[in-house]
Copies of this chain bind each other. A is one copy, B any other.
Amino acid sequence: MEAPLEYAIGIDIGGTTAKFGIVNHRGEISHRGKLATNKHTDVNIFIDELHNALQPAIKEVGGLEMIKGIGVGAPNGNYYNGTIEFAPNLLWRGVIPLAKLISDKFDKPCTLTNDANAAAVGEMMYGAARGMKDFIMITLGTGVGSGIIANGQLILGHDGFAGELGHTVIRPKGRLHPGTGMHGTLETYASATGIVETAKEMLEDNPKQKSVLRKISAKKLDSKAVYEAAIEGDKIAKEVFKFTGQILGEALANFVMFSSPEAIILFGGVIKAGKLLMNPVKKHMEKNLLPIFQNKVKLLFSELKESDAAILGASALVWEIKEKQPE
């Protein structure tokens, strides 16, 4: 038997940057770095830059022979194929065989999955879901993503694309989602973008109601401003979070009746709203559950820093890479 390989490389790919780190078996990240993803349409340039950026770190931990493999979390990442497929927020178009490109370049096995799935695995191994076998992770950022764990495993589906809960319809014929053309999906309401949209609608529908939000130009209005106004007691801003929480709570109730998770873990920029969001979420989730599910599901915030969760989750996939059997 060979000595155990001590480190995994975890990479979290986003629309503007890729963050990476070297992770040991205890989930400690070292040698963090980042790299732009919005500079070149040719993914090969990104792979070269990534390779260069990681060389000093790899050398410092003792060379390539100390690295077991590379794990990647990426939007529209497919675990089965190792591909990124038609990711609307990335410059790399179509189907990108990212795992193979990385594996060839680094001469190490590479595993890839959806970014929200990677975050869920990170949370299960090192965060708020430690020891849980059934939970759902919902990421509330510019969009709404999700990663579902059941029976201690990621739910990937027959094609690797399971867990697109942000695109489930929660208000039939509701708000248009410009990216997908669908109406009334969770993402159109519960994302940072959705919160701003709700604020704009409420400002327009209640022209006589004073609000500090009216002082902010439509272009500059963001979910942070709505949150800050709500904290200051702004009536419309508070209503925005009540409404957002109701929609999200109703959606979570439906998810609970699907997989009956021990917990739902919320993650991403929007959770900075804290109780402003959580109180209505909890109220409307419970209200829409069958009695057998009521007052059982823990609603938790992530315990990991945002970028750490995906790096850790991606790196965790590496430990599951099967060694080749000796022949």
A residues sitting closer than 8 Å to B (CB atoms) are: 76, 85-86, 132-134, 148, 150-151, 153, 155-165, 167-172, 180, 182, 250, 253-255, 257-262, 288, 290-293, 296
Contact = CB atoms under 8 A, between A and B. Distances in A.
A296 B157 CA distance: 12
A260 B261 CA distance: 18
B164 A257 contact: yes
Given A134-B157, A182-B288, A169 B254 contact: yes
Identical chains in the assembly: 2
Contact of A151 (B133, B155, B262): B155
A158 B257 contact: no
A115 B247 CA distance: 31
A257 B292 contact: no
A105 to B, nearest CB: 27
Contact of A161 (B158, B168, B260): B260
Given A150-B150, A151-B151, A155-B150, A168 B262 contact: no
Contact of A257 (B76, B165, B171): B165
Contact of A157 (B169, B253, B261, B291): B261
30 contacts: A85-B292, A133-B158, A134-B157, A150-B150, A150-B155, A151-B153, A151-B155, A151-B156, A155-B258, A158-B261, A159-B260, A159-B292, A159-B296, A160-B260, A162-B259, A163-B259, A164-B292, A165-B258, A168-B253, A168-B254, A168-B257, A169-B250, A169-B253, A169-B254, A170-B172, A171-B172, A180-B290, A180-B291, A254-B254, A255-B258
Nearest to A174: B172
Contacts of A134: 157-158, 162
Given A133-B158, A134-B158, A164-B257, 9 more contacts: A86-B292, A158-B261, A159-B260, A161-B292, A162-B260, A163-B258, A164-B260, A164-B293, A168-B254
